Structure formats: structure tokens, C-alpha cells
């Protein structure tokens, strides 16, 4: 060791700033790990995922039925869509073929507007295809309006 006359202030001690940084870092790390540990903070990847999916679902265009029940033009278009898309299975006059008679007074899956829309958009288990991906909500709504006229007569 050297002996000098000058006072050696703080010699051999760690500067306060470093200590603060060191312990501050440890505290930050503990907090950081705790906040991402499900058992401690309740944070969960799946919760984050659900939140993001919910946000995405809101921005997506809702596929909702349009009200065409009293729209003559739309019903006429619906009839044409039926002739092109549905007649091969349900017959041109909708009295049935491969698929059931759609003019029957009672339908298995229901014959109100909502039931019909469900049937045509999503399909039914015994051979009714889902048409939403093929023709879209607009055209399905028109076909449904046409189907309704079959039962109102």
C-alpha cells in the first residue's frame, strides 16, 4: 500500500450511483418477471390472445342478413339465384329432389327468416352445403326473401 498525504476520499468504496443502478436493476427484474408470471399477476398469453381476437372480430365486417322481405326486386333476384344455385338439388319450383321440398308447410330446420338464413349460410348436416363462402350474405338474404314467398302464398 502507498502512503500519501492526500486524503483518499471514498477509496475502495463502490460509488453510490452504481449501487443504485445495481439494486434498481434487480428490483426491476423481479417486478418484470412477476408481472409476466401467470401465478403471480394473472398475466396469460391466452388472455392476450383472446383480447386481440376480440379486437380483430370488431373490425371485421359483420355478416348479417339483410331485410328483403318486401323488396320485389330483391325477391326476383333471389328467384334467379335459386334457379342457378339451388334448383339442381331442390328442383326449379323448390318442391324437392336431392334436397327436401322447400314449399312444405313445415321445414325441419325452421322456416322463419332467421332459420332459413342459418340453413343457407352454414349448411345442414345431411347434404345441404354452406353457401356463405360461395355467394355471400347479400345473395343469401335475397334467396331467403324468395323462399319466404313460397310459404306466404
Could you say whether residue 96 binds ligand HEC (CB under 6 A)? Answer: no
**Residues in contact with 40: Cβ distance below 8 Å, sequence separation at least 6, in sequence order:** 34
CA distance 70 to 92: 22
Minimal distance, residue 73 CB to ligand HEC, in Å: 18
Give the residue, chosen from 125, 133, 152, 153, that forms a contact with ligand HEC under the rule CB under 6 A.
Answer: 125
Q: Which is nearer to ligand HEC, 37 or 134 (CB)?
A: 134
* Region for residue 142 given its phi and psi (left: phi exceeds 0; alpha: psi -120 to 50; beta: otherwise): alpha
Could you say whether residue 131 binds ligand HEC (CB under 6 A)? Answer: yes
Could you say whether residue 107 binds ligand HEC (CB under 6 A)? Answer: yes
In this structure, the dihedral spanned by the alpha carbons of residues 34, 38, 43 and 48, taken in order and rounded to 10 degrees, is 140
Q: Which is nearer to ligand HEC, 58 or 153 (CB)?
A: 153
CA angle at 89 for the pair 88 and 94, rounded to the nearest 5°: 95
Interacting residues with ligand HEC (CB under 6 A): 85-86, 88-90, 98-100, 102, 107-109, 116, 119-120, 124-129, 131, 143, 147
Amino acid at each position: 500500500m502507498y502512503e500519501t498525504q492526500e486524503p483518499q476520499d471514498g477509496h475502495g468504496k463502490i460509488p453510490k450511483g452504481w449501487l443504485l443502478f445495481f439494486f434498481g436493476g434487480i428490483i426491476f427484474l423481479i417486478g418484470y418477471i412477476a408481472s409476466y408470471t401467470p401465478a403471480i399477476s394473472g398475466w396469460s398469453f391466452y388472455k392476450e390472445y383472446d383480447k386481440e381476437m376480440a379486437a380483430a372480430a370488431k373490425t371485421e365486417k359483420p355478416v348479417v342478413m339483410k331485410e328483403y322481405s318486401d323488396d320485389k326486386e330483391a325477391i326476383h333476384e333471389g328467384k334467379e339465384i335459386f334457379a342457378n344455385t339451388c334448383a339442381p338439388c331442390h328442383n326449379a319450383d323448390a318442391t324437392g329432389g336431392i334436397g327436401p321440398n322447400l314449399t312444405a308447410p313445415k321445414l325441419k330446420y325452421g322456416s322463419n327468416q332467421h332459420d332459413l338464413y342459418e340453413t343457407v349460410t352454414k349448411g345442414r348436416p345431411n347434404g345441404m352445403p354452406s353457401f356463405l363462402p360461395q355467394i355471400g350474405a347479400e345473395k343469401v338474404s335475397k334467396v331467403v326473401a324468395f323462399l319466404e314467398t313460397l310459404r306466404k302464398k
